[in-house]
A and B are shown apart, each in its own frame.
Chain A
């Protein structure tokens, strides 16, 4: 019985890792590749480790495996976020069919600052406000 469970878990984990590698090879864009590696690979590794935990049926080994799974679940999104941020700032281009870029214009390359608003729109709005203040001063 446990052998069948181990076989099912390990096979599904291996298939998820294979899907992650195919996605890494086929995706058109660095950001899409990051999203593939942080989702499918994490699930595949978790399933393989759970298969090992079922096979050994020992409390100490199960705790160790739980610690590894928890660590991977915690660190995979963090590393994906960090590498995506670094690649956006270093100028890796988006896929040509991407629909929207939320961070377009919000990052100042000279000062390396990221603002929550568009930098040029902010300047325009400040100019307008100054003009309004000049037109009707001191109400």
Chain B
């Protein structure tokens, strides 16, 4: 529970950060969403042994996080909790791909380690990109962006309600779990206790949902939240998207680290 506690604190902080005011926050959410999706696809499209050539892409999350004034700890802790699955599965690569691909003197590097390094870099880049997107965009703005990009309206409405009641219910669960933990003498929550805890939470939630529904219907809610007919994408947003797309294209097409490395060695030689 301690771990979940810190995790939730980070999520709350992330949600709060999404509403701060920086040049990145002021951009239309659609621009940030599109750039982030392009970024993720670009990272995934690299060859399985690519490590160095992926690194220039780190400029994207770093730039967004810094201009958006996100604290490093917030992003790092979310990524650290989510990354292990990919890293563990990737850790099998060194055992199955033992071909030596690179040797400097006694130091031999196998294809497996290389692809594991690639998976690690990918995990860092893609996971941080997702967290940073929420950190530099308020969630309601993100929902509006999703709706204007064509996500089915019921799903968008669903996301808005989910976000609205998320922290309300999490608070409730935290109180319940604390109460159980205090009475269980450190033995953890038993399976049967958890079941009835969740069942009761479900009943309470359902009744709350019915009250909310009544209240909203009596105020003429027609099943879809009204969104302000927002503005079109401004020049700076188009520049933002086009600039990043161009950057991803160049990084994808040319191995910049290799060029830099050759250049450095030329200069040093």
Chains A and B come from one and the same complex? no
Residues of A within 8 A of B (CB): none
